[in-house]
Amino acid sequence: MPGTSGVLLQIPQLQSLEERIAATLMEFASLSESNRNTWIAERLGAHYPSGLAFHEIARDLVSLEINSAEFSSTFCCPACGRLAIAASPERVSWLFFAPE
């Protein structure tokens, strides 16, 4: 359900993520046209569509970095308002908290 899930990042993890995103985007922006397709295939896969606009590729690169980051998943129950935080990276068990 939209608006019910989220992530928690510790400040050092967030700072590391920001650095990786900035470095990836700078590297992408500095590529010559002749090197761009090979670089994209190495990071986004050989079947990544060609001919996309710069901002679309940049968005996918940012998403790739975010999704590879270490974070805790959260969930807010739309029915009761309780907040849950994943107790493990595998999201097998959750810790629930009730609003006061």
- Tens of pLDDT along 5-64? 888 888 999 999 999 999 999 999 999 988 999 999 999 999 999 889 999 999 999 999
Q: What average pLDDT does this structure show over 63-80? A: 89
Predicted confidence (pLDDT) at residue 93 exceeds the cutoff of 90: no
CA distances from 63 to 21, 25, 96 (A): 9, 12, 28
Going by their DSSP bridges, the two strands 83-86 and 94-97 should be labelled as antiparallel
Question: Phi/psi class of residue 94: alpha, beta or left (left: φ > 0; alpha: ψ in -120 to 50)?
Answer: beta
pTM (whole model) above 0.85: no
Predicted confidence (pLDDT) at residue 1 exceeds the cutoff of 60: no
